[in-house]
Amino acid sequence: MRRATTFLSTLLLAVMLFAVPGALSPAQAQNPIQADGQNPMGARPTADSVNEEFLFKQESKIRGRVSIPDGKSANLIQPQGREYQNFRERWLPWIGALTILGMLAALGAFFLFRGRIIMEHSQESGKKILRFNAFERFTHWMTAVCFIILSLSGLNYIFGKRLLMPLIGPEAFGAIAQWAKYSHVYLAWPFMLGVAFMFVLWIRDNIPNKVDWAWIKAGGGFIGKGHPHAARFNAGQKGVFWMVAGFGAAMGATGLMMLFPFALTDINGMQVMQVIHSVIGIIFIAGILAHIYIGTLGMEGAYDAMGSGKVDLAWARAHHDLWVEQEQARTASGPQLKGHPAPAE
């Protein structure tokens, strides 16, 4: 019995000695590694595997295969998409915050330094002159209301999930964002129409001339005392007009490209349109904030021009004296509406 046991143990040991090297030999034959860690066959499995950098060197996009007619859906990854995402998530919020908050801070500092521009009274105070007719005011307010809603819905696109969603929760934010999207899409049309109306109505009175340069050199009445000569629109108002016309056209063009995606461009062009649309929109908002400040808090009597359409004749004489002379010469009867003169203060 002892001999049989010894024989079986010896036989089992021999089988193990021959079987283990045989099991390891295929792997060693495929990937023989020397003691110093070098591969004598020159194979580098990790380096030779497929990677994105290698694929992007061969082609600008990583594409798959699709059976549907829309070949664009085969694009899996493109480097420009990552660049746009970096701009959208990192740079755009900073650009928007610094531009808009910077404008608000500048207007606040200017108000503290300059104060409100008070209306100067004279013998003409209390008399009214028509500055904008009903259709001009309708065009202005239609465009202005649309712009405000478009601005708020656009800012929600940039800051909503960072500022609003933590306050009201994802469900409420989702509902607000959906309605903001609808308002942005549908109110873009009357906004573009209003910009076109403004251009036709006021282009004649907004051509720059020598009087505007003198107005700028004099500080427009915001610096120092007195008011420089101005026609129906001074140089500052002409700047606002051309900003609205130019930026409005650019926002309309890029917005239409996004409303009808891939009609004229590919995915890269769509991303460029979004960058242009968002950057111009931010600058546009900052510029209109300055316009709103001057038309309300910054200058007494300025709001009446777009409120009732009639302004105090003394105010008009101080800020738009050349226009008043033209109007009185044209009507040959002075101001269109007379009233009781206001007492001097």
> How does DSSP assign 128-177, residue by residue?
EEE-S-HHHHHHHHHHHHHHHHHHHHHHHHHHIIIIIHHHH-HHHHHHHH
Per DSSP, the chain holds a count of helices (H) and strands (E) of 15, 4
CB 282 within 8 Å of CB 95: yes
* Burial group, residue 15, by CB count within 10 angstroms (0-12, 13-18, 19+): exposed
What are the structure tokens assigned to 297, written together? Answer: 């808090």
**Spatial separation of the C-alpha atoms in residues 71 and 68, rounded to whole Å:** 7
Residue 133 near residue 309, CB atoms below 8 Å: yes
Phi, psi torsion values for 122, nearest 5 degrees: -155, -170
* pLDDT tens by residue, the chain, 345 residues: 555 555 555 555 554 555 444 444 444 444 444 544 455 555 555 555 556 565 555 556 666 777 777 766 676 667 777 888 889 899 999 999 999 999 999 999 999 998 888 887 877 788 999 999 999 999 999 999 999 999 999 999 999 999 999 999 999 999 999 999 999 999 999 999 999 999 999 999 999 999 999 999 888 878 767 789 999 999 999 999 999 999 999 999 999 999 998 888 888 888 999 999 999 999 999 999 999 999 999 999 999 999 999 999 999 999 999 999 998 888 765 555 444 444 333
Residue partners of 260: CB distance under 8 A and separation at least 6: none
